[in-house]
């Protein structure tokens, strides 16, 4: 049975993003009450991930994953920046998350810090820079026995890796075998011809799944075919977390319940 998780953001500057809860203690308490096994953190720093560990454990939860997007939101750092010094800072920022999450038994996520190609960095160069960083980050995560997660983003949020096939092409070309794909159903509803088909094609490369409906509301409030998605998840033998990463619509408590109802209906 897949472990369930729900998102908590600790970054006020990310208000409006797809995070259900916005306070660590309250989020952990409500996650546990709603039946979740774990939380997924969007934290401002690696130190904040480490500091959150005791509260997560105190509520009988685990850390499912830690997002690194604050590196972009707060510092405008990306791994494909034309500035070598900025790329170095971006990698160091992410390495901190790899270590902090890894010590708690969880992977770190690379999403918005992938950056964008354009201007002085064309797509070929962006892919080269991204792959170079992934080699390092994947091996850094390996010592904690967790993968490093690469998240394809829709075209409006990124243009380097937009589909699971894009991600698979990069992952398959790496020397490290410790980079996996994060399948976010919101992004997939925009970019994939068939989310379920894309999951089947990606197969065992998928190491984390995030649920949000077609409108980024909690799963069950849009037009995503969750029965088909769940069937594909089972077919590829996915054993990782099913994480509710969605807008807190119409409010956090209802969002948590709606997402859990959909998980129980289709994924259990």
Catalytic sites, residue numbers: 151, 245
Any idea which residue has 């830690």 for tokens?
Answer: 66
Nearest-angstrom CA–CA distance, 262 and 149: 24
Helix axes 46-58, 84-103, angle to 10 degrees: 20
Which residues, 6+ apart, have CB-to-CB distance to 136 below 8 Å? Answer: 91, 95
Distances (CA, A) of 135 to 102, 130, 138, 150: 17, 9, 5, 12
Local structure of 262: helix, strand or coil: helix
Residues 256/34, Cβ–Cβ less than 8 Å = yes
Nearest-angstrom CA–CA distance, 135 and 231: 32
- Which helix (H) or strand (E) element contains residue 256? helix 252-266
């Amino acid at each position: 049975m897949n472990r369930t998780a729900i998102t908590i953001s600790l970054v006020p500057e990310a208000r409006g993003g797809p995070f259900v809860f916005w306070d660590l203690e309250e989020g952990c308490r409500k996650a546990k009450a709603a039946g979740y096994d774990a939380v997924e953190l969007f934290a401002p720093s690696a130190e904040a991930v480490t500091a959150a560990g005791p509260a997560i454990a105190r509520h009988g939860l685990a850390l499912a994953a830690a997002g690194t997007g604050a590196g972009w939101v707060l510092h405008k750092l990306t791994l494909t920046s034309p500035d070598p010094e900025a790329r170095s800072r971006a990698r160091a920022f992410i390495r901190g998350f790899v270590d902090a999450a890894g010590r708690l038994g969880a992977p770190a996520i690379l999403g918005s810090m992938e950056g964008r190609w354009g201007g002085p960095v064309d797509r070929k160069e962006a892919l080269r820079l991204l792959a170079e960083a992934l080699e390092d980050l994947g091996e850094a995560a390996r010592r904690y026995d967790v993968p490093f997660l690469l998240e394809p983003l829709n075209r409006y949020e990124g243009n380097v890796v937009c589909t699971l096939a894009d991600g698979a092409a990069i992952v398959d070309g790496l020397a490290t075998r410790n980079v996996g794909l994060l399948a976010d159903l919101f992004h997939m509803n925009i970019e994939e011809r068939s989310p379920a088909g894309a999951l089947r094609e990606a197969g065992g490369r998928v190491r984390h799944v995030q649920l949000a409906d077609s409108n980024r509301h909690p799963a069950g409030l849009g037009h995503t075919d969750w029965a088909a998605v769940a069937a594909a998840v089972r077919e590829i033998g996915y054993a990782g977390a099913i994480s509710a990463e969605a807008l807190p619509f119409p409010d956090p408590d209802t969002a948590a319940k709606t997402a859990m109802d959909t998980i129980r209906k289709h994924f259990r």
